[in-house]
Structure 1
Amino acid sequence: MQTKPMRAFALTAFGALCGAAALGGCASTAGPPTTATAAPVAAPLPPAPGVVGGAVGQALDEKDRETAVAAQQQAISSGERKSWRGAHGAYGFILPGPESGACRDYTHRIFINGRPQEAKGQACRQNGEWRATG
């Protein structure tokens, strides 16, 4: 049997632990607290540069869009026609125009389910690198 001073010490220590740790469930005899968890939300993808980021590129899945963007950048940088073929059946080519000052126009033709779609864009040099601006 515990003596009164020992019992008072035990209760005081228990109370101090609950208050100091702010555990909220110390005085409760219920089960563990439940927490609501929200489903993870996927961050939206940044827009693809140039015409692939527009209406023409919206019908492409993510992997095919990456392939199209890489080919578009290569064509713009080199000034030479570049073809590409995605993993899911889409394909296309980019025809860059001649440099005009620090910019060049280009045409990107994309075939989705065999149907051609075409868009025109422009790329300009920024800090020595070609960037699709539209």
Structure 2
Amino acid sequence: MNLSTMRAKATLAISLLVMTFGVSACNSTPEPPIAAAAPVAAAPPPAPGVIGGAIGQSLTEKDRAVAIAAQQEAVSSGVRKSWRGENGAYGFVTPGAEGGACRDYTHKVFINGRPQEAKGQACRQNGEWRVTG
């Protein structure tokens, strides 16, 4: 094969490549820009103990925080603790006797003057009382 034949074949090969990729590039449609996903807010963790159940669903966020604080204080101290929320809800937590590493408690909540009562449990974990149910 002589030099001019090799040049002709190389030129033909390059031309075919340019045409193939050039045509495909012209016929392609640009991808739409990918929209940045909006950050998804994580759901707040469930409230601990009795307030995390049906009773807590009837409370505002602020009242629920006050009730949770009273619940924690009562089980930690072993002394009955009352609380009053901003929107008229109120209640009290009565801890039971310490039985080993755990103690039961009763949380009575008044919403719109109607009493609701539930029982829960707290246990010592790493030297601190934690509401477990």
TM-score of the aligned structures, taking structure 1 as reference length: 0.70
Shift of 1:123: 0.3
Tell me the SS of whatever aligns to 1:110: strand
Instruction: Please state which structure has a larger fraction of its residues in helix.
Output: 2
Which is greater in Rg? 2
Output the CA distance in 2 between the equivalents of 1:112 and 1:40: 35
Write the distance in 2 (CA, Å) between the matches of 1:67 and 1:39.
32
Q: 2: CA distance between counterparts of 1:44 and 1:112?
A: 25
Find the aligned partners of 1:56 and 1:118 in 2 and give their Cα distance: 8
Once the 2 structures are TM-superposed, how far is the Cα of residue 116 of structure 1 from its aligned partner? 0.4
Displacement, 1:43? 3.0
Per-residue CA distance 1:31-85 (angstroms, 9 max, x = gap): xxx9967776543221111101011111111000000000000000000000000
Counterpart in the other structure of 1:110: 109
Q: How many residues align?
A: 102
Question: Within 1, Cα distance between the matches of 2:34 and 2:131?
Answer: 46
Q: What is residue 91 of structure 1 aligned with on the other side?
A: 90
- Counterparts of 2:43 and 2:88, CA distance in 1: 24
Identity of aligned residues (%): 76
Cα deviation for residue 88 of structure 1 reads 1.1
Tell me how far apart the structure 1 counterparts of residues 35 and 41 of structure 2 sit (CA, whole Å). 18
Aligned twin of 2:58: 59
Q: 1:76 — aligned with what?
A: 75
Query: RMSD between aligned alpha carbons?
Result: 1.8
Gaps spanning 5+ residues in structure 2: where?
Answer: 1-32
Q: Which amino acid aligns with 2:107?
A: H
Q: Could you tell which deviates more after superposition, 53-62 or 118-127?
A: 53-62
